[in-house]
Structure 1
Amino acid sequence: MTALKPVKVATIGCGAISDAYLSTMINQFRILEVVGCYDRNLDKTERTAEKYNIKALSMEQIIADDSIELVVNLTASTAHYSVVKQLLEAGKHVYTEKVLALELEEAAELVRIADEKNLYLGVAPDTFLGASIQTARYVVESGMIGKITSAHCALSRDVSLFAELSPNAIKPGAGIGFDVGIYYITALLSILGPVTEVSGITKTLNKERQHYYMEKLGESYEIQCENLMAGTLQFESGTVGSMLFDSNSILIVPEKPTLVLYGTDGIMYMSDPNLFGGEVKVILKGNTEPMVMQQSHSFTQESRGLGVAEMAWSMRKGRANRASKEMGYHALEILHSIVKSGETKQHIALQSTFANMPALPRGYVTHSHFKFQEESGLAY
């Protein structure tokens, strides 16, 4: 069997999330050849390049280098539209951190450009490709818990605490719905398929606050993003979903989110969709205690960059990628429609949809090494 030519990759943005991506892309996937990185902060660029033994590049160098086929955008969400648009217009395939863009119209433009130029555009989160959510999907598709009639997800956080840790935590795009809720929405979409209609409400409570850490003690700041989002989702399949994300409460470490699917023959409790691994528990009709399901799929540890590898393999095989621009746009439209529903007091019909790709092929774990069927393209 002839090995496929690796896809040369460069990253843009050398912030905190870049370590998770680079370590995975460089060490786990032979389909990827990471050659360089760029950040507008030159010191960050050079430190990252030295740490991972790759080149420190400029944006101009990345665009001009025809050998770099794929660029991973790890900038702040406020920069996603401009960065991704520039890369697409330069003829690069792009995988971007969530969300696709802050504004729905901007995201639609990026999808259109990618389509017109016949370019791949992938969108995080890729945690739905991990062992936990793939196992949950396997359970659902096996028919074990019957027809899924409803779903529920919820999470609490403390926005004041996050404001002390990072100034970006209170900026547009960093709200609990758009920044965190999208993990839950993507998980549900990957299992249940597209949504046809939503309703909901979004609020920013107590916008004006004061820092309580010593360095900024008493200084005022304004929260510029939502800190409460609630909604209902009508799935095309008939399933009805509910969601509640509240960052005016408390942060529990480790977080204890709720993500549950209710079926006619059982109930399935899923783990944190912000993680790749975690237990999947099922209660079947006639029982009172849940049983922990064995993992049907691999990638139980931090594997950000898995979506990049899957997209690179799809590029080489000429097929659609799983963390697709269509699903990313659909998730973003859900979030924006919940905001619109709260403003108009109406149910909002979604205009977009997506074709849900098959689950990843089932893998097995041996001595901590992941081995997959050739079709998956994820072996290393």
Structure 2
Amino acid sequence: MISDAYLQTMTQKFNILDVVGCCDRNPEKAQAAAQKYGIKALTIEEILADETIEIVVNLTTPASHYPVIKQLLEAGKHVYTEKVLSVRLDHAAELVKIADNKNLYLGAAPDTFLGSAIQTARYVVDSGLIGEVTSCYCALTRDGEILNRAFPFTAKEGGGFGFDVGIYYITALLSILGPVKEVSGVVQTRKPERPYYSLEKFGETFPVECENFMSGILLFERGTVGNVLFDANSIFILPEKPSLVLFGTMGILYMADPNQFGGDVRVILKGNNEPVTMQQSHAFHDECRGLGVAEMAWAMRMGRKNRANKELAYHALEVLHGIVKSSETKSNQMLESTFEPISPLPRGYTGQGFFGFIEETGIAL
């Protein structure tokens, strides 16, 4: 469960965080999690009334994000939410406005771009090693029926393959290449009626109410052109073998799975034919869901903007909605939003080496 991934990280890894409680619509689930992690099981009313609780982490399904986040912001809480910021773009814009008006932090996953792999890739690009990035490409395939049956929200609005998984790739590209100004694409829902295979429901079907195929072209403000492909009508292999590649005038950069924090970053420089694996220049290689929460907490204490911020999350959501609208209208879509360049994490805070700096220091700066 995603809550276990967050709670393990937040209760054990970061000094800046003091996790005091959890809440669930099912009180028994909340009590079980509270007992497991040594925290309290709270009601939403108790959370809203407790002035010592500064940040609330929202891990509800996408359809619940808007009402839950709005309630928390209006109560004066800083919020970090699982992706996406909201299913509807206008609802996301409203949440951003509320946070701005109340001077509150609003952060959102994915936070995997803060991990060692994407930060190392960012360093390679920023250093000019592969020259000017002229184009980029990413692709991932899965068997959506498996996910739809295991996680029913992935068959509902906001849980489609592009919005639920593609956003990891979009966010990774945005964190390195900056804002997108124009998109086009094709979006489909193939086989909108899918069969159950369990004995209990064998012969019955369930509806797929969201996209399970998305292909898009992105034109970044810096001039880079990107191609994205997310197809949930193929096969599911483990470990997954997605593609995320940046093509530059002086080399090619092969990135790791952006759904993970670590992984190999490989480069082929001009004049060579074989890739070289780059040394990891940054921390957080292992599973670290909740890293964005800790980084936001440090941003609050240090008086700066958090990296997995609401503007980045909104822009990523607008990219996805733009691809959908382009498919519907058969026309390119100009994006209205933008965001400030995301500051890279400082290099060297890996916790390794004889005098290795601790990892958490890297997100405090």
TM-score (norm. length: structure 2): 0.97
The answer for unaligned runs of 5 or more in structure 1 is: 1-15
Residue 375 of structure 1, CA deviation: 6.2
Tell me, yes or no, if the aligned pair for 1:164 and 1:213 is still in contact at 8 Å. Answer: no
1:367–1:77 CA distance, 2 compared to 1 (3 A)? farther
Aligned to 1:148: 133
Aligned length: 363
Alignment of 1:176 with 2:161, yes or no, is: yes
Tell me, yes or no, if the aligned pair for 1:201 and 1:229 is still in contact at 8 Å. Answer: yes
Q: Choose the corresponding residue for 1:112, options 73, 97, 101.
A: 97
Alignment of 1:255 with 2:227, yes or no, is: no
Structure 2 counterparts to residues 1-380 of structure 1, below 5 A: 16-362=1-347, 363-366=349-352, 371-372=358-359, 374=361, 376-377=363-364
Tell me, yes or no, if the aligned pair for 1:361 and 1:373 is still in contact at 8 Å. Answer: no
Tell me, yes or no, if the aligned pair for 1:361 and 1:372 is still in contact at 8 Å. Answer: no
Task: Pick which of 363-372 and 342-351 moved more.
Answer: 363-372
In structure 1, C-alpha distance between the alignment counterparts of 2:58 and 2:284, rounded to whole Å: 22
Tell me, yes or no, if the aligned pair for 2:217 and 2:225 is still in contact at 8 Å. Answer: yes
Aligned to 1:4: none
Q: Deviations over 1:322-355 (max 9, x none)?
A: 0000000000000001000011111100000000
Aligned to 1:6: none
Q: Deviations over 1:188-229 (max 9, x none)?
A: 000000000000111101101211233322111111110000
In structure 2, C-alpha distance between the alignment counterparts of 1:39 and 1:373, rounded to whole Å: 29
In structure 2, C-alpha distance between the alignment counterparts of 1:376 and 1:159, rounded to whole Å: 35
In structure 2, C-alpha distance between the alignment counterparts of 1:241 and 1:203, rounded to whole Å: 20
Task: Pick which of 364-373 and 99-108 moved more.
Answer: 364-373
Residue 357 of structure 1, CA deviation: 2.2
In structure 2, C-alpha distance between the alignment counterparts of 1:221 and 1:31, rounded to whole Å: 44
SS in 2 for 1:364: coil
Tell me, yes or no, if the aligned pair for 2:284 and 2:350 is still in contact at 8 Å. Answer: no
In structure 1, C-alpha distance between the alignment counterparts of 2:360 and 2:161, rounded to whole Å: 37
The amino acid of 2:116's aligned partner reads A
SS in 1 for 2:172: helix
1:283–1:172 CA distance, 2 compared to 1 (3 A)? same
In structure 1, C-alpha distance between the alignment counterparts of 2:36 and 2:189, rounded to whole Å: 40
Tell me, yes or no, if the aligned pair for 2:154 and 2:164 is still in contact at 8 Å. Answer: no
Q: Deviations over 1:151-194 (max 9, x none)?
A: 00000011112123222221111111000000000000000000
1:158–1:375 CA distance, 2 compared to 1 (3 A)? closer
Residue 356 of structure 1, CA deviation: 1.6
1:319–1:45 CA distance, 2 compared to 1 (3 A)? same
The amino acid of 1:150's aligned partner reads S
TM-score (norm. length: structure 1): 0.93
CA RMSD, aligned part only?
1.4
In structure 2, C-alpha distance between the alignment counterparts of 1:373 and 1:45, rounded to whole Å: 28
Tell me, yes or no, if the aligned pair for 2:351 and 2:359 is still in contact at 8 Å. Answer: no
The answer for unaligned runs of 5 or more in structure 2 is: none
In structure 2, C-alpha distance between the alignment counterparts of 1:96 and 1:373, rounded to whole Å: 21
SS in 2 for 1:154: strand
In structure 2, C-alpha distance between the alignment counterparts of 1:253 and 1:373, rounded to whole Å: 31
Tell me, yes or no, if the aligned pair for 1:123 and 1:325 is still in contact at 8 Å. Answer: yes
Q: Deviations over 1:284-342 (max 9, x none)?
A: 00111101111000111100110000000000111100000000000000000100001
